[in-house]
Amino acid sequence: MSATKRRRVLGIIATDATFERTWFREHEVWLGKCLHCNAHLMVSLQGEPISRATIEHIIPRTHGGTDALENLGLACARCNQGKGSRHDPRYLKDARAQELVARLQARRRERWRDPDAD
């Protein structure tokens, strides 16, 4: 994983209240929850996924989404890949896709933490 992606993962963790530092098998790690299904996700303190954590673009880049932290979350690979395969070229007019985006945006706002609060 590139240094840019690791920094992006750490930025997401800093703004997601479900992530906290903990110990796992003699290593300190970040432990949090998938944006979709709340499955546990584990990431090294350097930003390397230990579990199958992936960067989730709530609004996909192919449909105008950005890399702004408000549009990013961490998701398990299964959920993120499933979301990706459900989108089609009519994405912006697809009611189901729009409902999913709205639900993920709301969840991201609920979990938001000011990165400077610690």
Task: Quickly state the pLDDT bin for 1 (edges 50, 70, 90).
Answer: confident
**pLDDT for residue 85 is more than 70:** no
pTM of the model: 0.88
Closest by CA position to 18, among listed 35, 36, 1: 35
Interval 25-36 mean pLDDT: 96
The DSSP annotation for 4-49 comes to HHHHHHHHHHHTBTT-EEEEETTEEEEEEE-TTT--EEEEETTS-B
For residue 89, name the pLDDT band (cuts at 50, 70, 90): low
Average pLDDT estimate for 16-33:
96
Please provide the average confidence, as pLDDT, over all residues in the chain: 90
